[in-house]
Amino acid sequence: MDYLKCVQSFITATESGSFTAAADKLGITPAMVGKHIQMLENRTGCVLINRTTRRQGLTEAGHRFYLYGVQILATIEDADSLARHLNEQVTGMLRISAPVAFGQRILTPILSKFLQRYPAVNADLVLSDRRVDMIEERFQIAIRIGNLQDEGYVAVPLPPYEMVLAASPAYLAAHGTPLTPADLSRHNCVSFSQWRSAHRWQLQGPKGQIDVDIVPRLTVDSGEAIRQAGLSGLGVVMHSRVTLQDDIDTGRLHRVLPDYAPVSRPMHLLRLPIRPAATVVSSFFEYLLQELVPQPASPGGAAHIIG
């Protein structure tokens, strides 16, 4: 027995004056309206409607039940309306992880616009170049650069993270400019310790991908530290375009081997596989995708579970 449907049929029949009119409003048959009311009468043990061939009217019990029934349906409608309103509201706390350079230059402006749009949202943005554990460290959303491991997160591919080779004018004047990828093995190189191999750089050249073995003078786990090492003249650095582009544009760094671009690194937007996701999480997740992936996602770009 669907109690609420029975109450709704009774209330509608009472207000409409007939089973037929109630059936039209509810989109069911008059026989079903009668069945619902009969089920209510069986449940209560009272006759609620006096029915004759010409007219129908409420009994005393029916009149009392009608007053309570109206309150029941109104309360349910209020509860549904409140739930819809709360679900539509974007409110709450976001805890987000992102690499330092990407977070500073790309993510922070996007997050700032989102927070201005939704005043009831607060955010804790943690910038770190290390690979965080989203569950252990209570992150709801993360930007991950590099190959994904089997961690069970919901992951959406983002445009690849472009990389460049660069060195300071002072270093190139003192040590010469590498002319071929093989020359890098004889130069001071600064490498990122979080990569799968800090001693091998992958370059994409005119004839395809090549691997270059290097002996890093410095291995470090911070993109900003790599940038500073390059600016100080320590050696050739390989890092993201977003980190180094301003220095290249102003001449503080020079591109090295421009015909051999480092292989772009995969980048993903991650969230925990909680279903349904909190409204604030799903809203920011979709907002980020709109900002970072302006073109409609292809079938290959759909969200998928890693793990």
Instruction: Map tokens 């043990």 to a residue.
Output: 45
d(CA 78, CA 72): 10
43 CB-near residues (< 8 Å, 6+ apart)? 1, 3, 6
HEC profile of 11-25? HHHHHHCCHHHHHHH
Asked if residue 218 lies in contact with residue 229, where contact means CB atoms within 8 angstroms, the answer is yes
Between strands 154-161 and 265-271, the pairing is antiparallel
Amino acid 178: pLDDT? 95
**pLDDT one-digit tens code per residue, 50-104:** 876 556 788 888 888 888 888 888 777 766 665 555 555 788 899 999 998 899 8
301 CB-near residues (< 8 Å, 6+ apart)? 156, 157, 293
Closest CA to 155 of 257, 288, 32, 5: 288
pTM of the model: 0.59
Task: Residue 21: count other Cβ atoms within 10 Å of its Cβ.
Answer: 15
- Sheet harboring 189-192: ordered strands across? 218-220, 189-192, 236-240, 163-167, 254-255
**pLDDT one-digit tens code per residue, 131-146:** 888 888 999 999 998 8
Residues in the chain: 307
Between residues 231 and 1, which one has the greater pLDDT?
A: 231
d(CA 142, CA 133): 10
Amino acid 83: pLDDT? 56
d(CA 200, CA 38): 80
Crossing angle for the helix pair 19-26 and 3-16, to the nearest 10 degrees: 120
Domains of the chain: 3-84 (1.10.10.10), 90-160+265-292 (3.40.190.10), 163-262 (3.40.190.10)
Question: Could you tell me where the beta strands, DSSP code E, fall in 162-258?
Answer: 163-167, 189-192, 200-205, 208-213, 218-220, 236-240, 254-255
**pLDDT one-digit tens code per residue, 3-59:** 888 888 989 988 888 888 889 988 999 899 889 999 988 998 989 888 765 567 888
Asked if residue 19 lies in contact with residue 33, where contact means CB atoms within 8 angstroms, the answer is yes
Amino acid 301: pLDDT? 45
d(CA 236, CA 255): 9
In single-letter form, the type of residue at position 16 comes to S
DSSP secondary structure letter of residue 135: T
Q: Percentage helix, strand, coil, to 5, in the chain?
A: 45, 25, 30
Instruction: Map tokens 């679900």 to a residue.
Output: 87
